[in-house]
């Protein structure tokens, strides 16, 4: 059984799909691992570290690589590589599955089995494979760190002989994994933290971290969560009430972190241009949803925008700014999934297509889109 890791096709991507530690474990289990030279450089993993872990390092995408049983990636691989890769190969990575079906259809024509790690079911058995959680955790932390670095004042209260410095007010919008880590980080830095989310279950989580919960808590709010734990899209009436509440609250905030995403849809606008203009000069907003259109109306993907004295960070994927940790966690997620599809005794593929995890993340098989999201009427 042979597994390959190539340099990421996205030039902005700093992460790598397998770390030396995970390679060592895979090799000790009897698997062959091929690493493209330099693919771990931006994550501070050298070719020598991979070789010491037991991997074969190659400078070119050789015939041996292209005949691999499994290709592991962080982002969707280059279709030119897929065109040459053995049709029997399995491709595992973040496939960006919510793009339009016609585009995904192009990736199925090569015949590979494509597994999209973003779709990992939110079940107890799959927690160790949940790449969204592992990466969002780092993103929430990094968003606060970068925002406080951009903010030109101190974060905690400081009492000095010359006077008292008031603590910064930090508002977290969206209390998923990223939001919870953002709250915890902001609290550790000494900020006065408030947070909002449309899911009622998050109120207790927010308060347990020492932050204040801000939301319109009406009847719609009480039923605003899917069975999978995601936020439902709220009615126009609720959105208007929540917008007014947020608008009144945001005027006095120094730092705002937005993290709201709805699977398969454009990110909801939480902060309008008008709301930005009510904020104090020197305030900072970090938008973690710019890759999906953004939560801030005037945010720009990959750029920092200054508007009316307010800085809006438009970093695409904050997790990639912590590449060593992000790669290590992602690699651990992938390794746990490999344990699900490779028999430990025979070291051969053993995939149960009726398994909840497999059905949850298998995008294509046999040249066809097989995931329920692509089926007509779903």
Those residues whose C-beta lies under 8 Å from the C-beta of residue 236, and which sit 6 or more positions away, are none
Please give the structure tokens belonging to residue 256: 């705002």
Q: Does the active-site annotation cover 283?
A: no
Those residues whose C-beta lies under 8 Å from the C-beta of residue 48, and which sit 6 or more positions away, are none
Identify the active-site residue in 78, 98, 230, 325. 230
Give 24's DSSP letter.
H
Identify the active-site residue in 122, 187, 239, 374. 122
Q: Does the active-site annotation cover 339?
A: no
Alpha-carbon dihedral angle through residues 153, 154, 156, 161, given to the nearest 10 degrees:
-110
Identify the active-site residue in 37, 42, 127, 272. 127
Please give the structure tokens belonging to residue 28: 């000790």
Identify the active-site residue in 133, 181, 205, 253. 133
Those residues whose C-beta lies under 8 Å from the C-beta of residue 37, and which sit 6 or more positions away, are 47, 57, 58, 59
Identify the active-site residue in 45, 50, 116, 130. 130
Where does the chain show beta strands of DSSP type E? 2-5, 32-36, 56-58, 70-75, 90-94, 113-116, 158-160, 163-165, 169-173, 192-196, 212-213, 255-258, 284-287, 304-307, 310-313, 362-365, 368-369
Tokens 């090569």 sit at which residue? 110
Report whether 192 contacts 153 (CB < 8 A): no
Q: Does the active-site annotation cover 122?
A: yes
Those residues whose C-beta lies under 8 Å from the C-beta of residue 282, and which sit 6 or more positions away, are 151, 152, 153, 254, 309, 310
Q: Does the active-site annotation cover 130?
A: yes
Q: Does the active-site annotation cover 355?
A: no
Active site residues: 122, 127, 130, 133, 230
């Amino acid at each position: 059984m042979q597994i390959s890791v190539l340099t990421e096709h996205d030039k902005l991507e700093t992460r790598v799909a397998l770390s030396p530690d995970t390679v060592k474990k895979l090799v000790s289990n009897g698997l062959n691992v091929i690493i493209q030279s330099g693919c771990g450089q931006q994550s501070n993993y050298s070719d020598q570290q991979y070789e010491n872990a037991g991997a074969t390092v190659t400078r070119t995408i050789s015939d041996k690589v292209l005949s691999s049983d499994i290709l592991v990636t962080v982002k969707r691989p280059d279709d030119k590589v897929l065109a040459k890769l053995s049709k029997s190969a399995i491709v595992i990575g973040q496939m960006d599955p919510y793009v339009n079906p016609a585009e995904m259809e192009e990736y199925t024509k090569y015949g590979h089995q494509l597994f999209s790690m973003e779709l990992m079911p939110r079940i107890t058995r799959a927690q160790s494979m949940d790449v969204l959680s592992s990466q969002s955790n780092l993103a929430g932390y990094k968003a606060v760190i970068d925002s406080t670095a951009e903010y030109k004042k101190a974060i905690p209260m400081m009492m000095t002989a010359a006077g008292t410095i008031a603590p910064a007010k930090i508002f977290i919008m969206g209390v998923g994994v990223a939001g919870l880590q953002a709250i915890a980080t902001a609290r550790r830095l000494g900020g006065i933290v408030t947070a909002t989310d449309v899911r009622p279950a998050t109120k207790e989580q927010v308060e347990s971290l020492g932050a204040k919960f801000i939301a319109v808590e009406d009847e719609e709010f009480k039923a605003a969560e899917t069975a999978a734990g995601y936020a439902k899209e709220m009615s126009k009436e609720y959105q208007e009430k929540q917008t007014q509440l947020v608008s009144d609250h945001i005027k006095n905030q120094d730092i705002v972190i937005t993290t709201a995403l709805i699977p398969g849809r454009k990110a909801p606008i939480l902060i309008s241009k008008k709301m930005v203009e009510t904020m104090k000069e020197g305030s900072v907003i970090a938008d973690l949803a710019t890759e999906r259109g953004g939560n801030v109306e005037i945010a720009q993907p990959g750029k920092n925008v200054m508007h009316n004295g307010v800085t809006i960070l438009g970093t695409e994927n904050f997790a990639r700014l912590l590449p060593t940790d992000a790669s290590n966690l992602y690699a651990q997620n992938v390794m746990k999934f490999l344990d699900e599809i490779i028999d430990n005794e025979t070291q051969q593929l053993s995939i149960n297509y009726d398994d909840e995890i497999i059905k949850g993340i298998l995008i294509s098989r046999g040249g066809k889109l097989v995931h329920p999201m692509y089926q007509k009427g779903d």
